[in-house]
A and B are shown apart, each in its own frame.
Chain A
Amino acid sequence: MGSDVMVVAEDVVKRYGRKDPLAVDRVSLRVRRGESLGIVGETGSGKSTMAKILSGLLPHDEGRAEFDGRAIYRRGRVDREIWKRVQMIFQDPYESLNPAMDVGTIVGEPLVFWRGFSPSQTRTRVAELLEGVGLAPSLAQAPPEELSGGQRQRVSIARAMAAEPELIICDEPVAALDVSVQAQILALMNELRERQGVAYVFISHDIGVVQLMCDRIAVMNAGKVVEELDAADLSVDRATDPYTRRLLASVPTLPHIDHPEQRPG
């Protein structure tokens, strides 16, 4: 195993306000190369906070968070180098693309800043990336406001893939999308994983989605990881933790019924 482990989180603690309960309470996680780890939990369980910590967007207060043996934060500041290898996809596609830039610039930025591409190399690669996520290369000139929700999320995926990362952290990437579109985006993400060998940390409140996407699943409740199991073991009979069992019991059958209005924290 050893060098196979990419992400190590050990006893990570995060609190927002001095009086608030801990948002993340001594969480320990591991992500292996090429693996897909799901984190499920309800709104306010700390899963989104954990996503931000692992992606270098939010320094934690205590504990150890490392990517490939390097601390993600040093003295409260992120080690920006990790963003060459760790990327993130956000929940709301209407908020995660800069409205003041065209799609090509959004997707091209990681190429220029992380991989030193020239303008012409960038143009070519952006077209390839857009095609790779099922978008017409001509969309590069379009502003995000002309795109639909699903198209926007494809752009987000293309942007994240541009740096050719080893790990993508996905914070509820389909929760804000229409049911029919969800399936397409999930299929795309699975396909990319098979093609590029990228690892995922996949955050969702929807246990059905996580089961489709992930090899291993961590269940979070009130800032703690209450149970960790293989996706195959994710059923009411196999789960040991009472919270996990309740969570599973509330999902009737698969394929899941969706709640687009539900907003996770």
Chain B
Amino acid sequence: MLRARAIGTWLLSSAATLLLISFGSFALLYLVGDPATAVAGSQATLEDIERVRQEFGFDRPLFEQYLDWLGSALTGDLGVSYTLRRPVIAMIGESLPITISLSLTALVFATVVATAVGVVAGLRPEGRFDRFLTTGAVLGIAIPNFLLGMVLVAIFAVWLGWLPATGYRPFSAGPLEWARFMLLPAVTLGVGLLAQQVRTLRSSMIKEMDSGYVRTARAKHLSEPVIVIKHAARNALLPIVTVIGLQMSRVITGAILVEQVFAIPGIGQLTVRAVAGRDLPVVQGLVVLFAATILLANLLVDLTYGWLNPSTRRAR
């Protein structure tokens, strides 16, 4: 009951937010950025631009153009790319799975590693391992991932020659082949996420190990591994859910840069090309797509949190 209501409010507020964002970005792109010049290209004469303006209907009121866009968007039609003359939705459809596989691999890598090392570090705060890890996390947050990607390529591809430097192979080309190409980009994207997660986990682990129920468990002479795994770590993992949700924005930003470094034909590369080529319908579609992703991530965080945390589930 409550969950259904929460999803209902989420749908309403998300729809409102998406409408605002899509209108805002449409106004920015089609009102401020003159679309006729973008379509006509840099060689165009003034007459060309004027012709394009009338042909594409850019001389109509902005709101009318937006309603047109919105009407088509609701039926799944995001317009046609200026440069490639292909439907935007098809272009997004081709590159999206690649970015999703990159992002998910990076997130899984980050979360698995963060959980392991974060729990261990939190057991002995200020210990040698903890200090090493805390320093590493500070560094991990400070290194821009495109720079890290370049360094990793230099070491593992150019110097050691273990892995391919750039490129992408689909999963259908064989899991091993896919993994060889995916490893460096996923690690590159994952390190920043990992660093943030470790920080959160470590401090929540320290808090849990100091809490009343852990002391009770110790008094009952439960074995230390049982206390750590069954009690403390489970609770300490809760804040990670929130952190992962908040990291969606970082994942998207990171993917754009990492795909550029590793020449991966995903959403990020599509974004950079569309921006450089002033392909406004593509940019518009991508902005809405990214915003929708973030909103969805927010919902998932709320739901997972409620599901994981019994104290919010049980009405007290």
A and B touch in the complex (CB under 8 A): no
Which residues of A does B touch, CB under 8 Å?
none
Which residues of B does A touch, CB under 8 Å?
none
